[in-house]
Amino acid sequence: PPCRGEDINLFFGPDGEHQTAKEAREDKAREICHVCPIRRECAEYALTAPERDGFWGGLNEDERTSERRRRTRRANAA
């Protein structure tokens, strides 16, 4: 995948990272994931592991939490 060989620190921020730094970092990571042929699989993998942090498949921690909630709601509504 295109993230291989990229700086791992683009995908995993330091403890106590400021919001503006996080957003700038994730914008770069998002661009890389955007062209990744396995983005969907990568995102699904990360979505199955609630405790996993970092940027995966174009989604950050908060985005994955939202997506999990959305899926739970949808499953409960079905």
Cβ-based neighbours of 57, under 8 Å, separated by 6 or more: 33, 36, 39, 40, 41, 42, 43, 44, 45, 46
Nearer to ligand SF4, 17 or 41 (CB): 41
Nearer to ligand SF4, 30 or 76 (CB): 30
Told to check if 33 binds ligand SF4 by CB under 6 A, we report yes
Q: Packing angle between helix 39-47 and helix 19-34, nearest 10 degrees?
A: 130
Stretch that binds ligand SF4, among 17-25, 33-41, 65-73 (CB under 6 A): 33-41
Q: Is 61:53 a contact under the CB 8 Å cutoff?
A: yes
| Least Cβ distance, residue 38 to ligand SF4 (angstroms) | 5
Told to check if 10 binds ligand SF4 by CB under 6 A, we report no
Told to check if 57 binds ligand SF4 by CB under 6 A, we report yes
